[in-house]
Chains A and B, each alone.
Chain A
Amino acid sequence: MNIDALSASIVDGLMIGFIYGLAAMGLTLIFGVMRVVNLAHGPVIAVGMFAVLLLAQNLGLNPYLGLVIVMLLGLATGIGMYFIAVHRVIDAPELTTLLATFSVNLMIIGIGTVLFSTSPRALDVSLGSVRTGAVTILGTKLVADLIAVIATVGLYYFLYRTRAGKSVRAVANNRAAAELMGINSTWILALSFGIGIALAMGSGSLLATLFSFTILSGTVYEVKSFVIVVLGGLGNPVGALLGGIVIGLLEGLATISPLPVGWVPVIEFGVFVIILLVRPTGLFGAR
């Protein structure tokens, strides 16, 4: 194995890891606040991909400007989704909320397939590349990583430094007590769901600047997100970013190992099972 290939795949893995982390962040936020596993996560990522594509194709919007609009749309969509699909079953057992979000998954995939078919699409965006030695870094990846970091810091700032964010943590911690203190917990849950969906759709938009995609592409990232969320500790946004980086690295290394590419998910889920067995609070879980 030569050192050039190794460093190239490490850098590559690391860089995609940030975006995996961002994709998982919405899932972990929603679970952390309301103990709902959002099975519509993957399709929502795909909606983010198509939203940025449509904005670029029809309105000629720059994808990064489009991203901002997509995230705002995501916030509104998420709040709507919460009231339509989640709120009525929020106090029901987990299976019920799983089914509720899974039905949203099926609806998005169904409608998306009718509208867009399942043939691959791609966004036409290029920001050149940076080259150092054997390592070539795409400008789009660099910008995507930067945005992922900004989103993580932004979410952290929101949760720990703003009143609304602290209310989100209070509701996550003890919903009845939050109500007793005058916090409108229904609104806080809807807001959290909205932010989770905004993050998922935003990560979809960023992924669309890097790879071609179909309406079914979200599923891959949903599955990765589950592994990352468990790795990073359920409900921990910073843990999600770190977990994403770990999975990205693992994938990068797998590409230069003698193993066929088909083994990558096996390795990922191997990690998933081992973490659940050995350290169910996640590698970066606080408690």
Chain B
Amino acid sequence: MIALDVQRIESGYGEVQILWGLSLALEEGRLTTIVGANGSGKTTLLRTIMGLIPAWKGSVSFEGRDVTHLSTHKKAQMGLVLVPEARQLFTDMTVLENLEMGATPARARSEYRQTLEWVFDLLPRLKERMNQRAGTLSGGEQQMVAIARGLMSKPKALMFDELSLGLSPVMVMSLFEVIVKLKQQRLTMLLVEQNVQMALAVSDYAYVLSNGRVELEGEAKKVREMEAVRKAYLGL
């Protein structure tokens, strides 16, 4: 089953076109990754999928429904959720309040207690920090809050934009462990990462983006073996 289906999407900022008819699909229960150099359109793609910037052409379908022009909050309420680049926390609010805001969709609200317990179990550090203002946390802890806030919405598909950017190697490792745990629970995920090596190692399927187009795609294992990818992104 395809959870998210992006068809020949075109978009950009002002006059500048970034995405040139890009298509991709997320399979239910699988971890998909998008790799590509800076400026290849990864973040623009996620922003277009979420409706933070409008799609010029093409379509986005989620769970069989055309959501191309649906507003951002409606997509989130349907279960299509983005953990944005640079975390974008509610920095003036406490960690717990951030998580509470994550649980905005009606179906997430009714299971708030259980979900909170599950999230604290997954990211125990947040339980200690729950009454602290989110803006006072370290970068890694803030990223944990961003992930937890996304999970609190009971997403049907969760997308991560630059999960590991600017974090220490130890922190990156522990965040990837969380991703692997979520993968074992069969959560549909899309991982956009500049840490190509790790992203390909944990993912099922991979897309390589270049200049706003899909350059190649395939099972993550196979993509990792490709000569072009090894040279361009893995430095081998």
Q: List the interface of chain A (C-beta within 8 A of B).
A: 163, 166-167, 169-170, 172-174, 176-185
Residues from chain B with a CB closer than 8 A to the CB of A181 are 73, 76, 81, 101-102, 104, 149, 153
Instruction: Take A166-B97, A170-B93, A182-B73 as given contacts and tell me if A177 and B88 are in contact as well, using a CB distance cutoff of 8 Å.
Output: yes
Contacts of A185 in B (CB 8 A): 73
In the complex, whether B92 has a CB less than 8 A from a CB of chain A is yes
Which of chain B's residues 136-193 have a Cβ closer than 8 Å to chain A?
149, 153
B72 interface residue (CB < 8 Å to A): yes
Q: How far, in whole Å, are A183 and B81 apart by their CA atoms in the complex?
A: 12
B212 on the A face (CB < 8 A): no
Provide the bound-state CA to CA distance between A277 and B152, in Å. Answer: 43
Q: B77 within 8 Å of A by Cβ? A: yes
Distance to closest chain B CB from A191 (angstroms): 14
Say which residue of A167, A173, A176, A184 sits within 8 Å of B92 (CB atoms): A173
Known A177-B89, A180-B88, A182-B153: A166·B77 in contact at CB below 8 Å: no
Q: How many B residues touch the partner, as a band? A: 20 to 34
Pick from B84, B89, B93 the residue with the most CB of A within 10 Å: B93
Is B104's CB under 8 angstroms from A167's CB?
Answer: yes
Do residues A180 and B100 form an inter-chain contact, with CB atoms below 8 A? no
Query: How far apart sit A179 and B81, CA to CA, in the bound complex (Å)?
Result: 10
The distance in angstroms between the C-alpha atoms of A169 and B91, with both chains bound, is: 10
Chain A nearest CB from B122 CB (Å) reads: 18
Our pick among B76, B88, B102 for the contact of A174 (Cβ within 8 Å) is B88
Main SS class of interface, A: helix
Min CB–CB distance A189 → chain B (angstroms): 12
B54 within 8 A of A: no
Report yes or no: B72 in contact with A170, Cβ–Cβ below 8 A: no
Expressed in whole angstroms, the Cα–Cα distance for A96 and B105 within the complex equals: 34
Tell me the minimal C-beta distance from A12 to chain B in angstroms: 37
Chain B contact residues, CB within 8 Å of chain A: 50, 52, 71-74, 76-77, 81-82, 84, 88-93, 97, 100-102, 104-105, 149, 153
Set A163, A174, A177, A184: member contacting B100, Cβ < 8 A: A163
Contacting residue for B76 out of A169, A172, A179, CB 8 A: A179
16 extra A-B contacts, CB within 8 A, seeds A173-B90, A178-B90, A182-B76: A166-B101, A170-B90, A174-B91, A176-B84, A178-B73, A179-B71, A179-B73, A180-B50, A180-B76, A180-B82, A180-B84, A181-B73, A181-B101, A182-B104, A184-B71, A185-B73
A52 to B54, CA, bound (A): 46
B142 to chain A, nearest CB (A): 12
Contact A182 B77 (CB under 8 A): yes
Instruction: Enumerate chain A residues within 8 angstroms of B76, measured Cβ to Cβ.
Output: 179-182
Closest Cβ neighbor of B87 among chain A residues: A177
Known interface pairs A166-B97, A181-B149, A181-B153; A176-B88 also in contact (CB < 8 Å): yes
Q: Report yes or no: A183 in contact with B73, Cβ–Cβ below 8 A.
A: yes
Q: Which of B77, B82, B91, B153 contacts A173 (CB 8 A)?
A: B91
Q: Which residues does chain B contribute within 8 Å of A169, judged by CB atoms?
A: 90, 92-93, 97
B90 touches A180 (CB 8 A): no
Chain A residues near B50 (CB-CB < 8 A): 180
Q: Report the bound CA distance from A182 to B88 in whole Å.
A: 14
Chain B minimum-CB-distance residue to A286 = B92
Which residues from A are CB-within-8-Å of B72?
176, 179-180
CB distance from B189 to the nearest CB of A (A): 16
B82 partner residues in chain A, CB cutoff 8 A: 180
- Chain B residue nearest in CB terms to A185: B73
What are 22 A-B contacts with C-beta separation under 8 Å?
A: A163-B100, A169-B92, A170-B97, A170-B101, A173-B92, A174-B89, A178-B73, A178-B90, A178-B101, A179-B52, A179-B72, A179-B73, A180-B81, A180-B84, A181-B76, A181-B101, A182-B73, A182-B74, A182-B81, A182-B105, A183-B73, A183-B104
Are A174 and B105 within 8 A (Cβ)? no
Which of A167, A174, A176: most chain B CB closer than 10 A? A174
The reply to whether A174 and B77 contact each other, CB–CB distance below 8 Å, is no
Closest to A177 in B: B88
